[in-house]
Chains A and B, each alone.
Chain A
Amino acid sequence: MAKHVVARVGEIPDGGRKLVVVKGRPIALFRQGEEFFAIANRCPHLGGPLIEGTRVALVTSSCPGRYETSRAGEILRCPWHAWEFDLRTGRSVTDPARFGARRFPTEVAEAKALSVETFPVSVADRVVLVEL
């Protein structure tokens, strides 16, 4: 496992996204406030490109006729067959035990603390790292 610089914080606005490639692997990176979520850009169902998905809220129902929405933006819906995934865990919303998109840990760091040779950052930048 190693950490890879994949973006400058400033290039992805809140609610934004970026497709990155780490070790040949396409990864969909999403920003939610000051948090970043990274999942494999390949739906575990039939391979849809998750970077193109819609970000929705979690809709739950405690009983018929009652609906609760929460966690707006943290649920990703595949652009093909509409499977939903929890961006925090990568797991399917309907069948989390069996089904999920591969999720990668992320962190934000000061660029000046890193030895970054080829990714264009300035020492003032904060950068997003993905671990795999």
Chain B
Amino acid sequence: MTVTTPGPAPAAPAASRPALCDIDIHPRLKSPADLRPYLPQRWWDYWQSYGLRRRHGYVKGHPYPKAHPVDGMRRDAFPPGGGMPGSDLAFMRAQYLDRYGLTHGVMNVLSPTGAGELNAEFSAAMAAAANEWQKHAWVAQEPRLKASVCVPYEAPELAAAEIRRRAGDADFVQVLLLSRTAEALGRRRYWPIFEAAQDADLPVGVHVFGYSGYASTNTGWASFYVEEMAEHGTSCSALVTSLVFEGVFLRFPRLRLVLIEAGFAWLPPLAWRLDRIWARHRDELAHVTEPPSETIRRHIWITTQPMEEPDPPEPRHLTEVMEWIGPDRIMFASDYPHWDFDDPDLVIPATLDAATRHAIRAGNAMALYRFG
């Protein structure tokens, strides 16, 4: 019998890697006390006494666990020194930022940020604290990472004030909303957010999930977790329809919208359907003065994760969808450190030409977020 013994682990790949931008990285608090330095005493005490009160039927927001630990985490993303995935910058660098050669990343803090909080003043204080925390605990330590402005979006006037406070601060590169809002996102009550974002020259990123208080599907509560995963495309279809038919992009012509973690293969057929019904009901939508597909193509960017994976694998189906949306409108997103993380070296279809792959991997984000 020939017996050999294990050799050393393979060397890490060389440092020279193509530019990489990631539009969906989730940092996380080590503990709620991380926000304490940035919260007025009033609101820290309030939080400790009364907790978060959201428009949602579950006390803790979502049904957890989601088949993966804590809030749906990659099992290998728990820092060896303890704490939650996404809470340890050094480990995030080792496992993701440095390993893949990240050039620029956009952070989306999901919770606690005041999102969906019913006490409007508390919601605003939490959003402001989350923004200060991102600025000091993350961007100052790791300049490749930029922050999204958390806002109390169900109190749009207060949200607009927070956006104006961050305008011109290079640490912040977009405004963050969650997709499940109390009302359809195009409705008039949310317009102050879009106006302030446009004035601040910040794209509005809409990340899926949230606290609408309604069932996650428009036919009621789903039985299974995977139904919720499949639903994001339909709620974002409704969201895009609302924004287009309310005329939001015509009222705010410099507004740029980024859909994050919603998938995207649903977008072309939605645009075709909207064009068709718009053309037939012009008097109801007289304020919508161009075909919806033109508005969508001009104002909406999408992110890759989670990318549809036609089964059996047929790259042509996916790349045709990407061609319709536009090779200049698609940006890589990883969702690190969540379980549905996408590897930037593997997930961008190899059948796309090199220029398009670069555009998705970095170029489109560099242009949209004005990364230097």
Q: Hey, which bits of chain A sit against chain B, CB under 8 A?
A: 2-6, 20-24, 26, 46-49, 52-54, 79-82, 98, 114-119, 129
Contacts and interface: CB of A to CB of B under 8 A. Distances in A.
B371 interface: no
B341 interface: yes
B7 A46 contact: no
Interface string B341-362: 1110011000000000000000
Interface of A is mostly: loop
Given A46-B342, A47-B343, A49-B76, A119 B67 contact: no
Contact of B339 (A47, A79, A117): A79
A22 B2 contact: no
A41 to B, nearest CB: 11
B7 A23 contact: yes
Contacts of A49: 76
Contact of A21 (B7, B67, B346): B7
Contacts of A129: 3
B5 A118 contact: yes
B312 interface: yes
Contacts of A114: 1, 3
A23 B68 CA distance: 32
Main secondary structure of the interface of B (DSSP, over half): loop
> How large, as a class, is the contact surface on chain B?
20 to 34
Interface string B1-23: 11111111110000000000000
A21 B5 contact: no
Given A46-B347, A47-B346, A4 B3 contact: yes
Contact of A80 (B2, B8, B340): B340
Contacts of A48: 74, 76
B282 interface: no
Q: Which of B312, B343, B347 has the most CB of A within 10 A?
A: B343
Nearest to A53: B75
Contacts of B347: 46
A2 B5 CA distance: 10
Given A47-B346, A79-B339, A114-B3, A21 B75 contact: no
A20 B9 CA distance: 9
Which are the 4 A-B pairs with shortest beta-carbon distances?
Answer: A79-B75, A52-B76, A119-B5, A2-B2
Given A79-B74, A79-B76, A21 B8 contact: yes
Contacts of B3: 2-5, 114-116, 129
Contacts of A47: 343, 346
Contacts of B67: 82
Given A21-B7, A46-B347, 18 more contacts: A3-B3, A4-B4, A4-B6, A5-B4, A21-B6, A21-B8, A23-B7, A49-B76, A79-B68, A79-B75, A80-B339, A80-B340, A80-B341, A82-B67, A82-B68, A114-B1, A115-B3, A119-B6
A21 B8 CA distance: 7
24 contacts: A3-B1, A3-B2, A3-B3, A3-B4, A4-B3, A4-B5, A5-B3, A5-B6, A21-B6, A21-B8, A21-B10, A22-B6, A26-B9, A46-B343, A46-B347, A47-B346, A48-B76, A79-B74, A79-B76, A80-B340, A80-B341, A82-B339, A114-B1, A116-B3
